[in-house]
Chain A
């Protein structure tokens, strides 16, 4: 069987087609889902892609959280199945309360498109299950509002419960200020929820799967996801 991964298109989504392509590249069945739909077509996992949903004129992800499809995404998340938010998708998951914290304008107040390195901080998500803690992945970022912030209590909970999945780091895996492209608190590039099934990150794994057009740090994420889905389905 082919693992089925839904990719939601909101008006203003830009990386939806890239995400669909990446899913197919790793042997998944990619299912495009429209923001106005109320179910995920029986997909085992769902991906919220990058872009500027509804123009993001108010606050990133602030309108998308009210999209009809988000009820299905919430149900999907509540049932413990995998949900991945990339860039705008991460922003939407934070706005929807599915992940803690918020993303604000980059420290330098400008959009940044560049390759960065992230260190994997936990294997306890369906997206990093095949990756060892400490492994460094090269992936691109491209966002204007990717600076992760959270209040002290939330930060403490994130730390206590081990919710950080990725941190910006040097090519050798050191967590340094120089390696932090956007001023994110504690170099946080990606997070998970308490159960680990919902993950959001600012870097773009779907733009890091094909060596012809970029780095390949996104490959193990898709490999992990598709094998986790297969493992769950057969158990």
Chain B
């Protein structure tokens, strides 16, 4: 007999409990209830978000695997599939930053592996509170070290990401991680438990009590004062085991030994078995006595929902079992046949010969609740829109404002972070951290894939619809600035509590904005992740859409870099409007997060991407740099710092200087061009109907904004490179 309050402890509502009863036609037992609680949690079931996510465009000629699988896949040519997915691990990282972030890496890598692809790159979009607080420095240090330790140890390069700072992330850091893999497109595998009588083989680490309730306790509730007590719900990673798992699974895949492969992540064995069976319309008989345990006293529900890391579930024919076991043994991995595929659609678990749980696979995996939660625009929006920083007076020298914006941790160099990541292993990193987008070559080919992650929380806060759109546009623009053609999107939606109508409204708006941008830019969504409950009593995070875009570069020798070289002509592509709302300048110089984000004209955006792609292919452009955070001034300065080459420019137009320099109008890029290519470039830009302005020339050690201010590349570099290390060393002494 189950008293109703138990289900509440597990995170199920009374209505959800009743739904379970009616599906089973009886009361669930303790183990069954734990299985439903995990699978019907927000984290696993997307119960609050599904209704909105359906509006995202998911079709495209290149899409091989769309949303709903462990990871998306697109055809990138020459018979190669690029598999990619992003996930969040914010809640565990808030409590235990090192292990929280490390196991986030482990989880996403297994997602890529379960589609049959070798993981080839990681990107980490991170958001923390301001660095003047010791707690935030502790969180950042731990998260970065955890990502580094895990990623470096498994031999997958970490090639990019973001690091941003805002007060709203002090209690709620945002830790997202994207993984990319390559596989021959005809060898992708599915996480399907197909073939009656086939075997479920659990490969990898032993199962322990760690992570029980991870999805329902940690990831599907807000953090509060007592959250540190849920530290035992944070799993501990073992990257060495993961490395063995990667190599062993790749060997099995290469040898064609797998019917299906499914990772064990949130909700553990329950999720892996029920999802793989539901996908194949089969059932599963699982013998929990066969699961290798760290602790023999574990109870049925614990074995079923443990989130112990570094485990994979292989579906194998009885004939291939000896070969699978031999590969596991060679790599020093334990493997155990824990059950077989059945025809009756039930997930049946036995322990000591008794059936301890018996529920329909579909009811766990596909028939979770779905909510259209109430929505309402937040009250703060009206006041904040009226306070447009574009028309606030600049009360300091524009050169000083430039230094402040360039030295803002949001804009400044993230070298302190990315030097802790191995970005080189596997030997295919054409462009790594610090570039607009990372570029990974396909081994043995001139083809490469460009990838960038972007998102602007301030924009989401001021206008979630535009926040969603800008995230797609900016990530695609960064990819386009390498000369690649953006082709597909994955997304991580980081929000507060979905039961709050304001949060749900922001979520719906953000998804709508993202959908619109994905349609216009012809970049379908192939998967993603929703992370709700990123709020504590006193603050919720900004509605933060993080988008990962991948693009195809047909010949990486024609790749564009952002850096300037001497003797070139500098142009600004696109138009600058008086748009300082939500800008870096407004926050850093004026202390304001207000107004409206820049407008977004997706036709202009697409035209810009096409111009840069053509310019790269025709070898007309010498460099290209996205112009967004910090505006034109920062884009120029970064290109100069990266290329160790100065410039002299005149800011065009009749906007006030600080507006022209720091406006974050969308759909712009800074390019440089060899003098002999200037005519062909201008003709090309006209053809694409992209407006352009000639700004000046590159060369020399100085940075000159004509009639406004000047500095040197060396000084700008000191500001740019010195900011984050300065925060960390000076503040460390102060405690």
Contacts and interface: CB of A to CB of B under 8 A. Distances in A.
Nearest to B333: A11
Interface string A109-139: 0111110000000000000000000000000
A57 B240 contact: yes
Given A12-B153, A111-B148, A113-B419, A214 B243 contact: no
Given A14-B422, A113-B420, A113-B424, 19 more contacts: A11-B243, A11-B244, A14-B153, A18-B427, A51-B155, A52-B152, A52-B239, A52-B243, A55-B240, A56-B153, A111-B419, A112-B420, A140-B424, A142-B152, A207-B424, A212-B557, A213-B427, A213-B429, A213-B441
Nearest to B240: A55
A110 B331 CA distance: 29
B426 A17 contact: yes
A76 interface: no
A114 B421 CA distance: 10
Contacts of B422: 14, 111, 113, 142
A14 B155 contact: yes
Nearest to B151: A111
Contacts of B153: 12, 14, 52, 55-56
Interface string B714-725: 000000000000
Given A12-B153, A213-B441, A54 B240 contact: yes
Given A11-B332, A114-B419, A55 B239 contact: yes
23 contacts: A11-B332, A14-B154, A14-B243, A15-B155, A50-B425, A51-B155, A52-B152, A52-B243, A55-B153, A55-B241, A57-B240, A110-B145, A110-B419, A111-B419, A111-B421, A112-B420, A113-B421, A204-B424, A206-B427, A207-B427, A212-B557, A213-B428, A214-B429
A105 interface: no
B301 interface: no
A16 to B, nearest CB: 9
Contacts of B149: 111, 144
Nearest to A57: B240
A43 to B, nearest CB: 21
Interface residues of A, number: 30
Interface residues of B, number: 31
A212 B441 contact: yes
A210 B444 CA distance: 13
B430 A212 contact: yes
A21 interface: yes
B141 to A, nearest CB: 9
Given A51-B155, A212-B430, A18 B240 contact: no
Interface string B134-152: 0000000000010011001
A12 B148 contact: no
B423 interface: yes
B238 interface: yes
Q: Which of B238, B243, B331 has the most CB of A within 10 A?
A: B243
A18 B419 CA distance: 20
Interface of A: 11-15, 17-18, 21, 50-52, 54-57, 110-114, 140, 142, 144, 204, 206-207, 210, 212-214
Interface string B240-252: 1101100000000
Contact of A212 (B238, B239, B332, B556): B556
Interface in B536-566: 556-557
Nearest to B238: A55
Nearest to B154: A14
B152 A111 contact: yes
Contacts of A51: 155
A12 B430 CA distance: 24
A142 B153 CA distance: 11
Nearest to A16: B155
Contacts of B241: 55
A54 B556 CA distance: 36
A18 B422 CA distance: 14
Interface of B: 145, 148-149, 152-155, 238-241, 243-244, 331-332, 418-430, 441, 556-557
Nearest to B559: A212
A144 B441 contact: no
A118 B104 CA distance: 36
A212 B446 CA distance: 10
Contacts of A111: 145, 148-149, 152, 419-422
Contacts of B332: 11
A12 B243 contact: yes
Nearest to A114: B419
B518 to A, nearest CB: 31
Contact of B331 (A11, A50, A55, A144): A11
Q: Which of B154, B244, B418, B422 has the most CB of A within 10 A?
A: B422
A214 B154 CA distance: 21
B28 to A, nearest CB: 40
Nearest to A19: B427
B420 A18 contact: no
A52 B420 contact: no
A144 B152 contact: yes
Nearest to A109: B145
Contact of A18 (B425, B441, B556): B425
A204 B426 CA distance: 12
A216 to B, nearest CB: 13
Contacts of B425: 14-15, 18, 50, 142, 207
Contacts of A114: 419
Contacts of A212: 430, 441, 556-557
A96 B702 CA distance: 53
A116 to B, nearest CB: 11
A69 to B, nearest CB: 14
A142 B423 CA distance: 9
A11 B240 contact: yes
Contacts of A54: 240
Contacts of B426: 17-18
A76 B135 CA distance: 53
A208 to B, nearest CB: 9
B430 A213 contact: yes
Contact of B424 (A12, A17, A112, A214): A214
Contacts of B244: 11-12
B10 to A, nearest CB: 35
Contacts of A55: 153, 238-241
A41 to B, nearest CB: 18
